Amino acid sequence: MKRFVSKSKFKPRSLEYFREVESSGEPLIITDRGRPVLTIAPFGKAVEEKVARLRNVIMKYDRPHEPVAEDEWESLK
């Protein structure tokens, strides 16, 4: 069952809602003027699998604010 709560009701009770989502495993949809804008959901197996697939595939670039030379482009792919 989907639960909806407005931003104004969510803000002062956010920790309570976080605990509810964590214990129940059910997502909570946050609305703004009746329109759904956010979903608070537990970090589940599907997300863990996606993160595991990305592990060690992202390369660190030590100088992000400096220009990249042409011969360095290949190392960024």
Quick one: pLDDT at residue 75? 54
- pTM of this prediction? 0.59
Phi, psi of 18 (to 5 degrees): -60, -45
H or E stretch at 23: helix 14-24
How does pLDDT run across 23-75, given as a tens digit for each residue?
A: 998 999 999 999 999 999 988 777 788 888 888 776 777 777 877 666 666 55
How does pLDDT run across 6-34, given as a tens digit for each residue?
A: 999 999 999 999 999 999 989 999 999 99
Length of the chain in residues, anyone?
77
Quick one: pLDDT at residue 40? 95
- Domain extents for the chain? 3-76
59-53-42 Cα angle (round to 5): 115
Which architecture, in CATH terms, is 3-76? Answer: 3-Layer(aba) Sandwich (3.40)
